[in-house]
Amino acid sequence: MSKILVDRNELERVRDGVVYILEKGRNQGTIGSEGPQTIHDNTYKLDEKEKQILEYLKKNPGSTKEDVVKNVNDYSRVTVLIAITRLLEGGVIITIHNDKRNRINHLYVNFEKAIFSLQQNLGVFQYSYSELIDKAIERLFSKQVENGRIEFKTIPFVGLFYKLLGLYKFLCIMYITSDIFLWSSRPLDIDTLHNKFEHFFNTLKEIHHKLLEIPIRLGIKSEEIEEIVCSMLCKSKYGFSKGDLSDMLRFFEKYNLGEDFEPVVDALWALSYSILPLIDPSYKKHHKNGTLKDWRHIFKGSYKPKTKQWFTPF
């Protein structure tokens, strides 16, 4: 299967575009259907027969048109072939000649959109997470000015750094586990997995350096920073269950960082949406009734959101 090539400059272009949209939304004071959500809309609407064909090809990549006709047997041969043609024309699936001698067409799901979606979601997370870190540093330094000294072992710093580190760790572990646990329902070809890892790894390096700005700004020696982060990263709690998220919402609200924290949750929610019912069984009922797409519905009555949802997972 041909590779989907997106270099680092292209990734940065996408990220910059997302940043522009987010800043524009903030300046306008509203974030709704005309804001960042539009870049995540799936403009190609599938009907039931097309959905069946797509699901079959996800589980059976490289199938021929005849294979699809035989296995999607709820519809006539002509109907299925017409649906395949529409999917090809819409770019939802692609065809590849694996055997030049007999020119048999093999069909694959076009995962290029999955790569682009990952770029966008990571771009939103990186931007909002960086904003949260900057605001956290402001809070820490404002307290230090009043106290007249810098103390690494103060409870506010340790607690805040642990929470920020927990978000970073969840992103790392969720990315690895999602493709493992969702393989049967969302099989990706090797080239797509490699491309996903490349984009994820490059972005994570930048996020990691941003996180280290906190101990650097607090005067911790450079040789001690990685040791501290590594130790805390390995010991910190991993999770994005309802209880974990509730705890984090209360924590950041305590330091008047709720408005900056919520966009980070939106980005992580979109990135981990498919695996959320596996993270916490209580999410399953919300997944069935459609309220899982926005974490605010889950805490309705117990938490007052400061912002509107930036974009809807799909």
Q: How far apart are CA 222 and CA 209, in angstroms?
A: 12
**Nearest one of 124, 85, 123 to 107, comparing CA atoms:** 85
Return the percentage of the chain with pLDDT > 90, whole number. Answer: 18
Q: How far apart are CA 278 and CA 275, in angstroms?
A: 5
The 10 Å Cβ neighbour count of residue 160 is 22
Q: How far apart are CA 203 and CA 123, in angstroms?
A: 8
DSSP state of 7: -
Buried b (16+ CB within 10 A) or exposed e, 20-46: ebbeebeeeeebeeebbbebbeeeeeb
Compute, in degrees rounded to 10, the torsion defined by CA atoms 226, 229, 234, 235. 140
Given pLDDT bands bounded at 50, 70 and 90, which one contains residue 261?
Answer: very high
| DSSP states of 57-89 | HHHSTTB-HHHHHHH-TTS-HHHHHHHHHHHHH
User: Is residue 28's pLDDT more than 60?
Assistant: no
Mean pLDDT lowest among 122-126, 163-167, 185-189:
185-189
Place of tokens 């589980």: 59
The 10 Å Cβ neighbour count of residue 205 is 10
**Nearest one of 314, 168, 159, 161 to 240, comparing CA atoms:** 168
CA dihedral sign, ordered 162, 165, 169, 171: positive
Q: How far apart are CA 261 and CA 183, in angstroms?
A: 31
Q: What is the mean pLDDT of the chain?
A: 75
Q: How far apart are CA 141 and CA 7, in angstroms?
A: 38
* Domains in the chain: ranges and CATH: 48-109 (1.10.10.10), 112-298 (no CATH)
User: Is residue 264's pLDDT more than 90?
Assistant: yes
| 54-100 pLDDT, tens digit each | 888 877 888 899 999 999 988 898 999 999 988 888 777 888 765 55
Residue 193 to residues 10, 90, 123: CA-CA distances in angstroms?
Answer: 18, 23, 18
Residues forming a β-bridge with 208: none
Average pLDDT over residues 183-190: 63
* Model pLDDT, residue 295: 94
Q: How far apart are CA 283 and CA 57, in angstroms?
A: 28
By residue count, the chain amounts to: 314
* Model pLDDT, residue 33: 32
Alpha helices in 42-189 (DSSP H): 48-59, 65-71, 77-89, 112-147, 155-181
Task: Decide: 37 and 310 in contact? Cβ < 8 Å.
Answer: yes
**Nearest one of 102, 223, 233 to 164, comparing CA atoms:** 233
